[in-house]
Amino acid sequence: MKKVSIIYWSGTGNTEIMAKAIADGAKIDEVEVSLLSVSEASADDVKNSDVVALGCPSMGAEVLEEAEMEPFVESIESVVKGKKLALFGSYGWGDGEWMRNWVERMESCGAQLIDDEGLMANYEPDEEVLGNCKELGERLASA
Ligand SMILES: Cc1cc2nc3c(=O)[nH]c(=O)nc-3n(C[C@H](O)[C@H](O)[C@H](O)COP(=O)(O)O)c2cc1C
């Protein structure tokens, strides 16, 4: 059975709302969906999945959250070659720089980005973004 894993970090819940909507969209017959906080995920979850979505808000100054998400992303850099991958997350006052950098970083590791711009929400996802999350989930399930 095809396995889709959605792994995220979220401080105030906005990226988590996106993750749940993506998981909802991905839940179709014949697809096993797992939704994991990064604190309970390991590089093996990425290795053992056919399709992976990673979520993290813009933190610090346009970087990934540094205590858990950044080390996790480092740990998967060597296993994402050829992997179907999507990136998502919430941001605030910036212009999405963290996401552009993250997309470029994963592409340079050889990941096959499903959506090469990354899916972003400004703070809490509104109905339109939630619809885009669900649609991304559907694309993960059929990728
Ligand atoms: C410590 C900290 C640093 C942040 N740095 C940025 C930033 O550099 N650029 C930006 O656009 N938003 C920044 N934000 C705003 C968050 O990305 C935004 O609040 C987002 O919705 C948080 O997502 P979450 O609810 O999933 O944690 C920062 C927030 C915090 C708490």
CATH number, domain of 92, equals: 3.40.50.360
Q: For the segment 42-74, what is each residue's pLDDT rounded down to a tens digit? A: 999 999 999 999 999 999 999 999 999 999 999
Q: Which residues line ligand 1 (CB under 6 A)?
A: 10-15, 57-62, 90-94, 123
Question: For residue 41, what pLDDT is reported?
Answer: 98
Task: Count other C-beta atoms under 10 Å from residue 82's C-beta.
Answer: 9
In the chain, the percentage of residues whose pLDDT exceeds 70 is: 100
C-alpha span between 142 and 79 (Å, rounded): 21
116 has pLDDT over 90: no
Give the distance (Å) from ligand 1 centre to CA of residue 142.
31
C-alpha span between 38 and 42 (Å, rounded): 8
Question: For residue 83, what pLDDT is reported?
Answer: 98
Number of domains in the chain: 1
Name the band, by pLDDT with cuts 50, 70 and 90, for residue 103: very high
Secondary structure of the chain in HEC code, one letter for each residue: CEEEEEEECCCCCHHHHHHHHHHHHHCCCCEEEEEEEHHHCCHHHHHCCCEEEEECCCECCCECCCCCHHHHHHHHCCCCCCCEEEEEEEECCCCCHHHHHHHHHHHHCCCEECCCCCEEEECCCCHHHHHHHHHHHHHHHHC
Name the band, by pLDDT with cuts 50, 70 and 90, for residue 136: very high
> For 49, phi and psi rounded to 5 degrees?
-110, 150
Question: For residue 49, what pLDDT is reported?
Answer: 98
* Structural domain that includes position 15: 2-142
Mean pLDDT for all residues in the chain = 97
What residue's CA is closest to ligand 1, atom 27? 11
CA Rg value for the chain: 13
Task: State the closest ligand 1 atom to the C-alpha of 55, by its place in the atom list counted from 1.
Answer: 26
Q: Once rounded to an integer, what is the mean pLDDT over residues 10-32?
A: 97
